[in-house]
Structures are given as structure tokens and as C-alpha cells.
Amino acid sequence: MYIVVKFPEENNIVAVVPQSWCDGENVCYWPPYPTMEHVKKASQNREEPDIFTWTQHSAVILKSKDSYEKAHAFMVRAKKGQSLDTEPEDGERRRKRKNNLKYSLDDDDDDVDGGNDDDSIYPPRTLTPKSLAVNPMYLGQQSGGSLRSFSAQSQLGNSRSGQQSGGPGLRFLQDTPAQDFHRLILQHLRKISAEVKELKEQVTRNTVILQSLQSGVNMDISLPPGIVLPLEDNNMLQELEDRLGQSPELTETLVAFFASRGGKSVRDGVRRIMVGLFTNTLANVINWTGAGQKVAFKSLQLKHIVHRAVRKNPITGGTTEEALQAEVSRFLKGASDRLGGWRLRRRREREDEHLQRTGRIIKEEEE
């Protein structure tokens, strides 16, 4: 579908554009190409607008036709100020002399037959200087507000298919000073970042569901009566270890329960399991070997449960004990920081720095 449009803010210039260049009934995209031959080819080939480089302009839709030739005939009528209510007759489609494209943008005189056919694809004449066409940094600097810079308030998720006009569904008609360009870009990127974060979270949830289906784990699995997780102290840990030694069924249930947590890597899978197994308070008194009078994780039956649960994940099915040790140790080592140890160390470092500076000042004053 091709549309005959008029640009009221650009001396009422009339043009023929594909329907996809129109965003609603009052907005039209225009490409930044430096030559009219390129623009004409883009129009005839129904090239899709690029929202980051094409400009938007106020426009009025005059007529829509199913072919470029039919729309062009109505464009000629519109230029002459004739009615568009009836179909053009064959006699109206006379051969016209063509202007040299090199000078057509600056030539305000019409041809002897009432206009140049190629004007059907001419943009507003002040909008496409070659120096500005390829550089979006200059958007908004053209005098008279002819250029429309894009706004960071656009919605990238809008769909074209649901719009009657077939346009891209993004509105950038706010006049934007050039000095605000970077601020708008940052706002735009923050919005994209939030959307990407939301998509990542959804992908992670879908991954867990898929991994559970592939490993045959029931997503609705629940813990047996009397089992409370995460474990909070050594007494709860020892009680669970005793029950695991007496009940193989409990072991299998916990393997399936922790396997359902999934994970996109060994580190992610181990972290998901350990967060649900130990509180930071209990994790702070456990390490892999038991050094420093801590609980030895490698000697616990829970170690085998964690390893089996990680290996049930199709992505981490080849996890070795060495890889498990590295990630479990990393998690347990970070327990003190998660309890506020990092802040405490940082405060002590600042105090030490202050004392050192104070000592130097006193020493310098004494000297």
C-alpha cells in the first residue's frame, strides 16, 4: 500500500510513501539518504524505517492506493490542487520533463506540465542536507524545528502489526535541543537495560522449568514433615545428618528437591542449592576441609546430595568433585561478607587510614 501525504509544516510538499513510513495519521518517517535516487528506490521497494536514523515529520494523509503508479497519479492531482475524489483519467498521465536530480532540491520552479514526477518522493526541502542526513547528533539543530529528534520516551516493545497504519509504532515528535542528546540516550539505554533484565529473569525461570522436565523432577515436590530449610545452626545440621543416615528415601527426596532449583552453570547451580540449605550464620562455621575447628562439608552426607542434585541438571551433568569443591568453598567463604564482614573490614581500614594520617600530622608538628 502506498500513501499520498502532505507535509503541512514544510510548505505543504506532497509525496508518495509506503504505508510503513506512516506512524498513525499524522506522522511520517523520512530516510536520511543524501540522494533522491536512493530515497525513490527506498520508497518503491517499501524499505522499513530505521527508528534510530530516520526523522519524523508532521504529515496529513491524502490518499492511499495499492500501487506506486496509482498513488503517483493522485500525487500529481494534489500538487495541482485538484480533487482526489475521482480516479485520474489516462489523459491526465502525460509524459513530463524530468529535472536533474542534482539541483531538484533547490529548484522551486515546477515543470511546464505542472510538476516533476520525481517530486513524489521529495522530502521537505530543508530536511536532508547531506551533512546532517547521516549524523543523528545534529537532530534538532535545523532552523525552524524542521528536524524532529527521537525521544527516549519511545516504547521499543510496541508492535507494528497491531496498528492500522502499519507504521513502526514509535513517536519521536518532541523537539530536542542537541545538548540534551546524550541525556536522552542514557534514559533510553536505562529503559532497555530494565527490559533486558526482565527478559533475563524470565529466561532463568524458563530454564529451571525446562531442566526440571528434562531431568524428570516434579516441580511441585515438597519437603517431608519435620524438615525445615535452610538450616540455622549446628543442632539442626546434626539432626538432619542423623535422619539422612537412617532414611535413604529422605536422601532421594532431597536430591530431587534441590535438583529442581536448576542453574545455568555449576556456580549458579551450587549457589541456588546452598542458599536453600544453609543460612549465612551456619555457613560461616563450615568449610570444605574443617580447618580452623569448623564443620567439614566434605564429610557431610549433604555433600553427596548437593553433588547429585547438581549433576541432575542437564547443563551441569558432568560436574566433578573438584569443580563442586571450588564452588562450595567460594560460597562458604563469602558467608562472613554476607553477614556484614565486608562492611566491618572496610570500616576498620578507614579507621586505620585515619590513625595513620593523624600520626603523620602529629609527627610533622613535633618536628
Cβ contacts of 290 within 8 Å, gap of 6 or more: 296, 298, 299
pLDDT computed for residue 39 by the predictor:
82
pLDDT computed for residue 318 by the predictor:
92
Q: What is the pTM of this model?
A: 0.41
pLDDT computed for residue 90 by the predictor:
57
pLDDT computed for residue 116 by the predictor:
45
pLDDT computed for residue 214 by the predictor:
60
Surface-to-core class of residue 88, CB atoms within 10 Å of its CB (0-12 exposed, 13-18 middle, 19+ buried): middle
pLDDT computed for residue 208 by the predictor:
66
Per-domain residue ranges of the chain: 2-176, 205-333
Q: What is the pLDDT of residues 270-305, one digit of tens each?
A: 999 999 999 999 999 999 999 999 999 999 999 999
Contact of 279 with 338, CB cutoff 8 Å? no
pLDDT computed for residue 167 by the predictor:
38
Grid coordinates given for 215:
531431568
pLDDT computed for residue 203 by the predictor:
84
Q: What stretches in the chain show pLDDT beneath 50?
A: 94-120, 123-176, 218
The torsion angles phi and psi of 7, rounded to 5 degrees, stand at: -100, 95
- b/e map 273-304, b = 16+ CB within 10 Å: bbeebbbbebbbbbbbeeeeeebebeebbbbe
pLDDT computed for residue 354 by the predictor:
79
